Chain A
Amino acid sequence: MLGLQIIVDGFAISSLYALGAVGFTLIFGVSGVLNLAHGGIMVVAALVGWYCAGELGFGTYLGTLAGVAAGLTLALATYFIVVRPIQRSRAIPSAETEIFVLTGTLLWGIMIEQGMAYLFSDNPVSIRPLIGGVMNVFGVRTPRNEVMIAALCWIVIGFLWLLVNRTRAGKVLLAASINPRGLTLLGFELSRVYVLVWSIYGVLAGIAGVLLASFLGVGSANTGPLTASAFSIVVLGGLGSVSGTLIAAYVVGYLETVTAYLIAPTLRPIPALILLVLVIYIRPQGILGRR
């Protein structure tokens, strides 16, 4: 009984982690940016979604869409305000650009966190579940919302797969992640590719943020831990590898769930961090990493 509870609970959390981390790894794979403001984008989507749904009276569905739109907007803002100017700056030697981008996004994430705390207080908020009530899953009493979230995550990931593998735009993205210079030689505008990938990332992070808000609740204080968990998952799975990220998300999600249920809820984040250290030590490219 407890085992089934763990399986069901772990599946939903892992799916959410997977959705968030896939965007993170996509950004790294295609544009080489480790976006440390990742948690900030999810939190903003969640808070805006809550605000629109409740305070502005949009209702749950429109509020959720507004939250996703906010995630998209903020991701593009992160690209145009923080990442692109640093990447194009002549004052920074090219070998150091990545560090500057990393630091820039970290500071941007902190600014977002403090800004959100100022506007909304650091209290977590929750979005009303899209579907209420509970249902029986293998004998485990599970909120319907949780099942829907897991399903939604996989539908979105499925769309992403279709986009990358079956559409022309997706193939351009794939090519950009393999060899950006080759792509420019073929006549493609890299800057438009980057805008596309940041937009996709914004939508993914936005959806992950609003779903997390309806599942567990989100507050400005979650910004750091969300970034950290996406970072660990992506390093574990291999930076730049989407399938690696998906596998790693489930590994981390289940490790945390098993720890919370069988050992102690307090120690939940520890095993994933220990695993991260071991992976960096033994196999630094991660499970399926390329770079």
Chain B
Amino acid sequence: MNMRTALQLPQLARPTIAAMAFAALVMLAPSARAADTGPIKIGVIGEQSAIAGASLTKAAQLAGDEINAAGGLNGRKVEIITYDDHSSAAEAVRAFQRAVHQDHVVAVIGSYISEVALALEPWSARLHMPFITPGAASTDISKHVHDEYEKYKYTFHGWLTSAFIAQSICDFEHDVMVGKFHMKTTVIMSEDAAWTTPLDARYLECLPKAGLQVLDHIRFNPDTTDFTPIFNRIEAKHPDVITTGISHVGVQPTVQWHDQQVPIAMVGQSSQATTSSFWKDTNGATEGVVTATGAAPGVAITPKTLPFTEAYVKRFGVSPAYCGYSSYDDVYVIVDAIKRAGSTDPDKLVAAMEQTNYVGTIGTVKFYGRNDLYTHAIEYGPGLITGVVIQWQDGKQRQIWPENAADAVVKFPAFVKLPRASAK
């Protein structure tokens, strides 16, 4: 090629290059931020086809409407914009990008699935968009914030991390399964998912300390439909109790546990069992199943618990799933932070959110700080948020732990065999 012709720009190239330079400038320029007037837009990404995910968006809408009915924030209305991610991380990311670039939200509340929340976290970092997940549990979410604070500080973890979920279940099993029923052994049964890896790790650590020897540890594919071989394997070990970690599945293992009359109690985290429709979904097979959850029907953890539950049931016909409580609180937390920051600027908003001390529906919301292990996760402990443990009895969820707030006695179906020296 002739050097001269190569270096000489053809006639048409100049306007093209100018156009490209202009486009580059436009793309590199920061996207328009929500002005400090006009409605405060909060994006809510949920999984509309899943019971927990649908609860998330509904509860946020309820919160938004309540705030507006009370006059909004300094006269500005709160606008909740919902997106359905169809339980897909890729779709959630697209929704997040749309929320930021097209809908100009000031914050995003997103998902109860850890895989989705972990996919959104880097985008929250890249786009400097405050993001809080009201339902995911993986400890990696807050670990990223701890390890690379300046980059990931926009992400908040608005639910108990798996480590604390496991700890609360260990505490419950220590008080009730060991303390009352004199159980000695257990098998861990959990789905193979991002949130159960830290859950199981903590179980393996705290269950022996609670007084239960772990005989086996089963992680099954979340797409499993036939649990008979799994229950068979568990039964062959003769444990006193099955400690569960299930969220993606719920109806099938519970129904099969009941129909096959597996003679071992099921206790632990069963996210689907936290919703009020679970009794109907399983045709009552969930009788006797014990699960950790955010709040139990009829039991006021804070003065806000029951009014929220009543308003939700009145409007939507079912009681909220566990992430409905936190999603509702998160809207208020964000609005409260905007009020204290006096601005919707991301860095100021993040700083204000870090100072959150808000009494919500399931406890007092505070976030761990930069020097704590689970930076930006909600603080766990008495007086803050601990979650409760419920048991399904006769069609209702009854709170059985913490014991000082329990309103029912633990009882198992007749086919469950209890150790001989069990208390009545």
- A interface, CB within 8 angstroms of B: 2, 5, 9, 13, 54-55, 117-118, 121-129, 132-134, 141-143, 145-146, 216-217, 219-220, 222, 225, 257, 260-261, 265-266, 268
Closest to A213 in B: B255
User: Quick check: A217 and B261 within 8 Å, CB to CB?
Assistant: no
Interface contact B232-A122, CB-CB below 8 Å: no
B55 to chain A, nearest CB (A): 10
* Residue contact B283 to A127, C-beta cutoff 8 Å: yes
Would you call A134 and B252 a contact (CB within 8 A)?
A: no
Please indicate the chain B residues that have their CB under 8 angstroms from the CB of A123 in the complex: 50-51, 250-251, 272, 281
Q: Report Cα–Cα, A117/B251, bound state, in Å.
A: 15
Contact of A261 (CB < 8 Å), options: B224, B232, B250, B285: B232
Of A220, A257, A265, which is within 8 A of B221 by CB? A265
- Whether A124 pairs with B49 at a CB distance below 8 angstroms is no
Complex Cα spacing A54 to B278, Å: 12
When A55-B280, A129-B259 are in contact, do A265 and B224 touch as well, CB less than 8 Å?
yes
Known A-B contacts A121-B50, A143-B259, A265-B229; A54 and B220 likewise in contact (beta carbons under 8 Å): no
Nearest A residue to B86 by beta-carbon distance? A117
Q: A216, B256: Cβ atoms under 8 Å? A: yes
Closest to A132 in B: B259
**Mask of B268-305 contacts with A, CB within 8 angstroms, 1/0:** 00001000000011111100000000000000000000
Beta-carbon contact of A216 and B261 below 8 Å: no
Q: Are B252 and A217 in contact (CB under 8 A)?
A: yes
Tell me the number of A-to-B contacts counted with CB atoms below 8 Å. Answer: 87
From A5, A126, A142, contact of B282 by CB (8 A)? A126
Which of chain B's residues has its CB closest to A133's CB? Answer: B261
Chain A residues, Cβ within 8 Å of B285: 126
Question: Considering the chains assembled together, what is the distance between the CA atoms of A146 and B255 in angstroms?
Answer: 13
**A117, A141, A265 interface centre (most CB from chain B within 10 Å):** A265
Q: Do B259 and A145 have beta carbons less than 8 Å apart?
A: yes
Whole-angstrom distance from the CB of A182 to the nearest CB of chain B? Answer: 43
Query: Would A125 and B224 be within 8 Å (CB), given that A143-B259, A219-B251, A220-B49 are in contact?
Result: no
Instruction: Find out whether the CB atom of A13 lies under 8 angstroms from the CB atom of B226.
Output: yes
Give the Cβ gap from A175 to chain B, nearest Cβ, in Å: 39
Contact of A54 among B221, B232, B280 (CB under 8 A): B280
Contacts beyond the supplied A122-B50, A126-B281, A216-B252: 5 A-B pairs with Cβ under 8 Å:
A122-B49, A123-B251, A123-B281, A125-B281, A217-B251
Q: Is the interface of B mostly helix, strand, loop or mixed?
A: loop
| CB <8 Å contact, A122 and B87 | yes
Does B422 reach chain A (CB closer than 8 Å)? no
Quick check: B252 and A126 within 8 Å, CB to CB? yes
B74 to chain A, nearest CB (A): 38
Complex: how many Å from CA A54 to CA B226? 23
Contacts A/B (CB < 8 Å), 25 sampled:
A2-B232, A9-B228, A9-B229, A13-B226, A54-B283, A121-B50, A122-B50, A123-B250, A124-B225, A124-B251, A126-B285, A133-B261, A134-B261, A143-B260, A216-B225, A216-B256, A217-B225, A261-B229, A261-B232, A265-B220, A265-B221, A265-B224, A265-B227, A265-B229, A266-B220
State in angstroms the CA–CA spacing of A268 and B229 once bound together.
10
> Which 10 A-B residue pairings sit nearest by Cβ, starting from the closest?
A117-B49, A128-B283, A217-B252, A266-B221, A260-B229, A122-B49, A126-B255, A124-B251, A143-B259, A261-B229
Docked Cα-Cα span, A265 to B261, in Å, equals 20
B341 at the interface (CB under 8 A from A): no
A118 and B49 within 8 A (CB)? yes
Select one of B225, B227, B255 contacting A222, CB under 8 A.
B225
Contact B283 A126 (CB under 8 A): yes
Question: In whole angstroms, what is the CA distance A257 to B229 when docked?
Answer: 8
Q: Determine if B230 is an interface residue (Cβ-Cβ < 8 Å).
A: yes
A222 to B229: give the CA distance in the assembly, Å.
19
Q: Does B54 contact A (CB under 8 A)?
A: yes
Q: Which residue of B lies closest to A256 (CB)?
A: B226
Interface residues of B in 27-53 (CB under 8 A from A): 48-51
Give the Cβ gap from B35 to chain A, nearest Cβ, in Å: 36
CB distance from A131 to the nearest CB of B (A): 10
- Is there an interface contact between A121 and B224, defined as CB atoms closer than 8 Å? no
